[in-house]
Amino acid sequence: MGLLRFLPAPRRALILVATAFVMGLGFPRTDWEGVVWVALTPLIVEALRLPVRVAFGWGWLFGTVFYLVLLRWLDFTFNTYSSIPWPLTWGPTLALAGYCALYVAAFAAGISWLARRSIIWALCASPFLWVAGEWVRGHLFGGFPWGLLGYSQYLRLPVIQIAELGGVYAVSLLIVAVNAAITGCFVLAWRPALAGVALSGLLVGGTLAFGAWRLAAPAPPGEVNVAIMQPSIEQPLKFDPAFASTTMAIYLTLTSRAGAERPDLIVWPETAAPAPIRRDPELLRTLGALSGSLRVPLLVGSIDVDGSTPPKIRNSAFLLTERGIVGRYDKIKLVPFGEYVPLAGLIGFVRSWAEFIAELEPGSSASVFPGPPAPFGVVICYEGIFPELVREFVKGGARLIVNMTNDAWFGRTSGPWQHLAMYPFRAVEHRVAVVRAANTGVSAFIAPTGKIVRRIALYERTTAAERVPLRNGLTLYSRLGDWIAYLAIVVSGASLAARGWKRAA
């Protein structure tokens, strides 16, 4: 059963930990994306030879190390903005990594279960088991689809073009299929191993051929000029009343500078306004007058407070012209333990641990702004990491996607870069341009091919403008959504059920 079977358990454990660690470096900012094509191989080899419970344990260890490396930037947030003393600040990160690792553990256990009947069967099912786990993790308990394996390839444009067909899950499926084929070279006779390599080679070759073809396609007709700003305001100062006038001066100066580019739209970051726009008539008049003088609409992120009792607070985006507010979108997907506390009746006490934990009200619909300058959708903060939500905007007629965010909570860590890495996939999935305005970075313009055309470095205070194409038509993913993930769930369920039925028989 491969070379690992001849190694003592401590050395096998060391290999698993090392490969999990390196796989975590396959994501920004290290971007060792090539390692993910082989990093799962030792885990699959071990899962094939071990009992189900033992395979589950090794899978959980592998996953915990992987997610600890991937999510290491969270320690900065807890260390800087919470009352938890270091090194206990690693506790929440370890808990989240341990939860995400359960899906890797289930993947390993599933392979072990199927391998008791047929190793080839287990290897063929492994890509579907992995993708099914990714999809469930992205939806269960509100979902946390961070670090999907496919996201590691965001810089490899020929590879990620298949996201137009099956989303980021199609790329994850391909990566695990290659890992399974490599595993086959260690555990199978040469004929079936060669067949596996040939099949994975066809998949990779077809992916690259499709990618080259789509990258050579002409850009869709129609474009608009969009300006963004990155004000680079430190998180402790954003809502400090003593700094409010300085904050507004920065935004007004940057807006005037951006207006000099004659854009069709100027985008501010998430929660940019230092006070709720609808509760500040003077601020509203100032922005309306500025929009009128520049002759360009402003898209402004702001906290919104309604007049109910008790008041409901929302994270919103407002479209303003000289006529005032002409459009609004309220954030739907709130950040758990950031904008709300899950199971607040049981664990609401955690609000006292950190200043970044709020209690916001989610929006109810994916409202598309009709324009000007053209129909566009806005995803606020990490909403853009949910593929199905962006799809709702596209299905609603959005021809451009705008992401406004505030990643200042994560400082100069890899967190903002990992966040950015997911948006090329949203662009490719729908062949839509993505415009990203971030408070401290990373702001960017992303083409429908997924290419990051322009980006602004972390903590650089500046503006940028680009002409971006407007979406024209629907892709297969736009029409069918996560069909690859649904197929993976069906194949995984059917394989496990068939294995159970044959065992009972």
CA angle 400, 404, 406 (to 5 degrees): 160
Q: What is the rounded distance in angstroms from the CA atom of residue 493 to the CA atom of residue 129?
A: 9
Active site residue 502: no
167's torsion region: left (phi>0), alpha (psi -120 to 50) or beta?
Answer: left
Of 134, 333, 361, 381, the active-site residue reads: 381
Find where tokens 């769930």 sit.
489
Of 331, 339, 383, 466, the active-site residue reads: 331
Cβ 330 vs Cβ 362: under 8 Å: yes
The amino acid present at 354, given as its one-letter code, is A
Q: What is the rounded distance in angstroms from the CA atom of residue 337 to the CA atom of residue 373?
A: 36
Length of the chain: 505
Active site residue 270: yes
Of 164, 270, 383, 429, the active-site residue reads: 270
User: Beta strands 452-456 and 462-469: pairing type?
Assistant: unpaired
Cβ 186 vs Cβ 240: under 8 Å: no
Q: What is the rounded distance in angstroms from the CA atom of residue 492 to the CA atom of residue 494?
A: 6
The amino acid present at 161, given as its one-letter code, is Q
- Classify residue 486 by burial, with Cβ atoms within 10 Å: 0-12, 13-18, 19+: middle
| Max intra-chain CA distance, the chain | 78
Active site residue 331: yes
Residues annotated as catalytic (active site), given as ranges: 270, 331, 381
